[in-house]
Amino acid sequence: MFLYQSFVTLILAVTLVGSQPISQNDGLPTFGELLKRHNIQLTQPALVDALRNTDPEVRDLAANKLAEDKAVETIPAIKDALASEKVPWTRMNIAFALAQMGESIGFETLEGNCKNKDSGNVRARSAEYLLRFNRDSTTCLSGVLDLLKGGSNGDRMLAAELLPRYHNLSTEDSEKVFTGLVEALHAPNPAVRMAAGRALADLGDTRGIAELGRAIEDEQDELVRLRLEQDLGILRNKIRQ
C-alpha cells in the first residue's frame, strides 16, 4: 500500500510540473526505484513482462517507466495492457503513459474517464492529465463541473483547482465555471471554500471581487477569512496588470 501511495504521489507530481522530468533532487522515488522495490528489473523485456504482473501497481509503474524511457517499440504491448486492464486507476495511468507517447487511444481513454460517474477521483485525475497536454476537453469540463457541484469534498477541491486551467471557453461554459465557483465559495466545508476562493483569484474575472468581498463578510472561520482576503488581493492585482 505504501508503494502504491508513493506511485500516486509521483504521478501527481509529474502532472503538476508539466513536461519537466522528475529528478533525484525532487525527493520523490522514481518509477525505476519503485519498480526495484517490487524486484522488477529495468530492462525493456522485464518491463514488458511487468505489464502482465498480477499487481496493478506494477502494471502501471511499468507502463509509465516505458513511456519515460520513450520505448516506442513497446507501444503495442502497452496498448494490449490497456485493453485488458480492469482496475480503473491502473487503466487510467496506463492510458496516461500512452498519451505521453502520443497515442490517440491514451487521450481517448482519459476523455472517456471524464464521463465515469462511479469514481470521482478517476474522473478528476483524467481531466487533470488531459490539461497537462493543453487539451481543453468539453467532456472533461462538464465532468469537472459535476464534481464541483456534487462530488466529495476532496473532489470538489480538485475540481475548483482545475477549472481556471480551462481556456478558450464559450461564453456559456465560462459562465458555468464562474457560477460553480461562486456556489462552492459558500460550501459547508472550509477547505472547499478556500479552494473556490483561490480558483476565483486564478480565474481573473472582475466579478469575483464582489463575490469574494461578500464571502469575506459572511465567513465565520478566521483561517478561511484570512485566506479569502489573500485571494481578493491576488485577484485585484491580477486585474490591475
Same domain? 92 vs 156:
no
Same domain? 117 vs 178:
no
Return the CATH number at 79.
Answer: 1.25.40
Asked whether residue 187 is domain-assigned, the answer is yes
Asked whether residue 140 is domain-assigned, the answer is no
CB-side exposure of 232: number of CA atoms within 13 Å? 16
- At 22 the three-state DSSP class reads coil
Domain endpoint, select from 135, 167, 200: 135
**pLDDT single digits (tens) 169-222:** 999 999 999 999 999 999 999 999 999 999 999 999 999 999 999 999 999 999
Same domain? 114 vs 223:
no
Residue 27 falls in which region: left (phi positive, over 0), alpha (psi -120 to 50) or beta? left
Asked whether residue 26 is domain-assigned, the answer is yes
Asked whether residue 8 is domain-assigned, the answer is yes
- Number of structural domains in the chain: 2
Q: What range does the domain containing 3 cover?
A: 1-135
Same domain? 19 vs 74:
yes
Same domain? 89 vs 14:
yes
**pLDDT single digits (tens) 53-75:** 999 999 999 999 999 999 999 99
